[in-house]
Amino acid sequence: MPTTDRVQIFQVSTLYGAATVAAAIDAGQFGAPGDARRLLLVSNNAEIPETALRLDAMTGYERIAARFDRIADWNETIHPHHPGTWSPRPEETPLWQRVLRTAWGLGTATVEVVVESIQVNPAKALAAVFAESTLQVYADGLMSYGPTRDDLPQSLACRIHRVLHLDLVPGLRPLLLTEYGVGSELVPDGAFRAVLREIAEAAEDDAGLAAAAAAEPTALILGQYLAVLGILTADEEEELHGRMLRGAAAAGHRSIVFKPHPTAPARYSRALHEEAARAGVTLTVLDGPLLAETFYERCRPNLVVGCFSTALLTAAVYYGVPVARVGTETVLARLTPYPNSNRIPLAVVHHLLPDLETCAAPRVPGAAPEDLAPLVRAVGYCMRPAAHPGLREEAVRYLSEHEGSGAGALHFPPERLVELDVRMPVRP
C-alpha cells in the first residue's frame, strides 16, 4: 500500500507511449514502488474511436497495465463526447473533479497528472479538472524536438515540472516547452529496451508475427497513413509505399515485410502486393496489433525504411538496425501550414538518414551531428517565432550560411521568410 495519500494519473493513447511511461516508472523517475497509487488512463483519440484499434487490444498491453493499481477508460468516462475535442467549461471543473474522484476511487488524495500532449485534449481537459495538480509531460516521439504547438496559459505552463523523453537522437535536446523554462529528462535507454523486450515476449504465440518471421525477411517497410492527416492523398501514399519497396528491392532485399499503420485502409496492402510481384520479391504484411519494435526484437532485419516514422529511430538506436528514408522531400514540400508539428520530425529524419532512392547505403546514424541542432533550432524559430524570439539571430545566421543550398530551400520556403520578415545579412 502507498505510504502517502497520493495518486499519479498517467494518460496514454498508444502502446509506444505506455511503454515510455512504464520505462520511466521502472527507472524510478516517478518515485519508489508504493510511494503513490498509480492509475492508467487510456484514451482513444482516433477520429472515429469506435472503428479504431483499442489500446488494450495491442499485444503486450497487459504487461504494461500490470504496473498500475487501477485502469480507467477516458472515452467511456466522457461518453458521448470525443476525447480530442471535449473539455469542461470552467464553471464545471469542480463538479467534474468530484465525479472523477468518485468514479476512480481517488478520495481526497493529492493528484499528479502525467500526459503526452499538454497542448491538446484530453491532456488539457485533465489539467483543467485537476486544476491544483502538478503536471508532467512525456514525449513518445520525434515531435519533442520541435517547439510547443500552441501557446499555453501561464497558469497552466507554471504547473509543468518536466518533459520526459526518449533519447531517439543522442545529443539533441528537445525544444518542447523550453519557452516556459521547463527542463527535459531522458528516460534511460536500458529501461525502455527492457520494456520493449517484455512486450515482445507477450507476442511469442502471435500467428502473424510467426508467419512474418518464417518468410525470413531482411527489410521492413513502415507505413504512416499520411492521407488521414491531409498531407498526401491515398493514391500518393500508395505510391510512396511502392517507392519504398522498389528501393528495398534495388538494394538487394528479396523478402520484405510491410507494417501498415493500424488505421490504414486494406487497399494499401493490396497495392503493395502487386508492386512486390512486379519487383520479383516476397512481401509479407504484418497488420496485427503489434508494435514495429516487437518485429525488430523477433526478426532483426538488415533494413528498416520509412518516411519519418519514430520507429525508424527506435530501430537504429535500440536495435542497431540500419535505416533509410524515402519521400521526405515530397512530404516537406506538401506540409502545411508551416508550423505543422510534423515538420521537425521530417527535418530530423531528412537530415540524419540516407535516401534509399539515391542508392545511399542504409546506416545507423548514431549521435546527432553538429549541424543538426542549428537546423532544428532555425526551423523551430520559423515555426513559432513569437515563442522563441531569442532564436531569431541564430536562425538568421543559419539561413545566411545555407543561402542558395538545396536544404535551405527545402526547409525554409521564401514565402515563410517574407512572412517573418527574415532577411539575409548583406555579404561584404
Which of the 8 DSSP states describes residue 367?
S
Identify the residue whose cell numbers are 512481401.
Answer: 283
Q: Could you tell me which CATH class the domain 6-194 is placed in?
A: alpha beta
Choose the weakest-confidence range: 147-156, 218-227, 263-272, 417-426: 417-426
The contacts of residue 286 (CB under 8 Å, 6+ apart) are: 208, 209, 212, 257, 258, 259, 295
Average pLDDT for 115-132: 95
Does domain 206-358 fall into CATH 3.30.565.10? no
pTM (predicted TM-score): 0.94
pLDDT at 424: 52
pLDDT at 423: 63
Which of the 8 DSSP states describes residue 53?
P
Rounded (5°) CA angle 281-286-288 = 165
Task: Report which residue type is found at 221.
Answer: I
206-358 matches 6-194 in CATH topology:
yes
pLDDT over 80 (residue 348):
yes
Gap between the Cα atoms of 175 and 218, Å rounded: 35
| Domain boundary assignment for the chain | 6-194, 206-358, 372-419
pLDDT over 60 (residue 425):
no
Gap between the Cα atoms of 348 and 169, Å rounded: 9
pLDDT at 4: 59
